Amino acid sequence: MRLFAALELPPEARSGIHEAFARARSLAPRAKWVAPETMHLTLHFFGEVADSLVSGFSAVFDDESLQVPPIRFRLGEVGFFPASGPPKVLWVGISEGVLDPLQRQA
């Protein structure tokens, strides 16, 4: 299973990203575009993880010490990956704010 740690985006951020790419969607109608409700902020991509280990990750991320108050952030640059070859993923970066509360917890 492909596993990653992510934060849920607030509805207004998801909606803003969806609206910002309305023209791009019309220019690339054959591209697969994700629904706004599935957009998220990836913190770390673990890659392929055996199904038998997934419950161990769940227990770690349910730890109450990882809970932080809502985080304010500003959307930043846009890009694609992989870096070479046909693009598979369009991403929107964060320009400021998101990691500050998380770094203080470390």
Q: What's the pLDDT at 102?
A: 52
CB 97 within 8 A of CB 72: yes
Residue 56 to residue 39: CA distance in whole angstroms: 24
Q: N- to C-terminal Cα distance for the chain?
A: 27
Q: What's the pLDDT at 99?
A: 57
**Count of domains in the chain?**
1
Q: Which domain range does residue 98 map to? A: 2-105
Provide mean pLDDT across the span 28-43. 88
Residue pLDDT, tens place only, 65-87? 777 777 777 888 888 888 888 88
Lowest mean pLDDT among 2-11, 29-38, 61-70, 81-90: 61-70
* Residues in CB range of 71: below 8 A, 6 or more apart: 7, 97, 98, 100, 101, 102
37: confidence class by pLDDT, cuts 50, 70, 90: very high
